[in-house]
Structure 1
């Protein structure tokens, strides 16, 4: 007899819902479909449908009573603590060989972390972790985008999140798009991994390949992570469109966001792909989260670890960096080396040291359209937030619609912020944060400071 707690944990790990659990429990107890229907006050067709879904989640094939026998044997073997090889051997001997091929593989075969960085130190992000965990595990979201400027910590957040929930997935695949693999390469690679390299003859058409990928995302609970997604988006384009050779990533996002499956695709990107904007809905299964800077108390840990002094000035430093952890690490190292760790001595000069952080900002700047760069330069010269009507006067050569589209694009890229200066919040104004303004003025205006 298998203890109910053990059975329920195994069922949950395979994505069995509460409604399906009742049917599974009674089936394992030997109840007939008719008896289950009567006990649960549902019709027999519903019982059969739920059993069918349960068999799919446990990767059990066959017909009628044979499938239930296979499932019972699998659960008994797991409870007895047999190894995968023993389970496979028993199933081959007692039932038939087809089940053994579909048993879960070991961790090294079911997790491919690719270029995921090792995150040995992690700061804060409790709210972000709670939100994204809920989206994935409770809401079963199919497509999620972590968005934010470079250095803000999107990748580290994704690693931390994936490590914390990894035991809820049968497969995990991490891929960075820094090297711009084609959509065909990504989908082919994912299918090969999820099929344990059993799928050797793949269709040439991308839609057919995606359909095959979705088949595995339905059969297995998978977490796919694509880091540096902005690498496949077109530079100089205000609308989040793709480089020509990477346009099919849009099809991947659309299909995986719209089609029913039990897995999740998680993106990290400096820019918001159009498909996310079109598909996300407060009550839907496609979500995006703007990753902001660290809270003051969390960012202070970075300065503490660097051995900086004059704590009363730390908040000013953190506010200047808008809590960007990478920017704080760069400037903190400079303060330690050149100012003996004294933050007060550095902040009195009202300047900033970009160091390697400039490389990140340069990459973002180079992705902007000519009009976006012009808008950034205009905002960098302002001392306070600027209304749309004033911007129209500052850049009179462009239409209002172009102006709004440009502001929307910069907002999606996390390069500008908005404020409401009127008490009734009837007028929105636009501005650059301190660090971004310093960067533009220093490197992209003719009258450099």
Structure 2
């Protein structure tokens, strides 16, 4: 019968492994711990998936709401444009048919501002898709690497100012539109509740943004044959030598005319001329050192330290004298209480304390020669008893005659070590 079996009545024999497993609870505890860890890991993974789904759903809802707003804005602009065109056509028919009896158009919100457009018609913050922006910026290298910058000279290809040259004052990356300074202007109606006063103008003349496809870059290029420099309309630009700054993440590149291999320089940014006022702080006052930290005072004023860290925090290294005295008094009271608790002892504790004091007074015990001899005798008896029990003799074995090794001869001056 093995250790894992029992043939008694009413008992089912178990294999040895099951018997050992039942006696040793460590494997079962390890398995239970692993199951708990796996359950926690599954819960964490489920929570992460739920968080990702919620974040994605929230992003989708925000994007859908934004698209709805953009669609509603575009729809309203289209409706306003259609209504204004309809009104203009009707006004032309009335002027032709009625003459002087035709209804007046400069009334209501268009009072003293005939021909102006409403604020709804003015381009807002409509965000175009990347495909539409690339289509608008195809000649200038695409929307991602747009080879246009503020202060570039461009020529208009559409509108009432077609053929005129002006400088870019603003570029809208979301709509791929550019605003040319002094060109493509239109009157925008200002409603009466938005005017500064009743005598202010009912309309303002502003530049209307144009798509990038409606302009072309103008740059002076020297003819290599004749050596004459003149303005040239550039119909195609590509980017080259792209460099990304690892610190700031900004990208810069060169714009080149394909085919001619001519690099068009970027416009030079002028430093803004900021006027000085009496209330401005001088640079010499800012750079002047008004505080020098020393070993006798902290590197910052106490008021600043109090704002950065609680003045009563236990992690603080500098405190007020009153606070330090209060803390020291509390620590001393705790020590006095501990001493008082030590002074209250039971009779048994008093007895043990007295015994310890006696031992301390006696000092460490010293072994005399008689004690050492007695200890040696006890050790010899114990060793002899151990050897007799093991059947081992303490006497040295005689040398074998068949062995070729001859033991060294002992000199008369040397004596063998004594046996114990």
Bin of the TM-score, shorter chain as denominator length: under 0.3
Q: Which TM-score applies when normalising by structure 2?
A: 0.20
Q: Which TM-score applies when normalising by structure 1?
A: 0.19
Of structures 1 and 2, the larger Rg is shown by 2
- Structure 1 or 2: larger helix share? 1
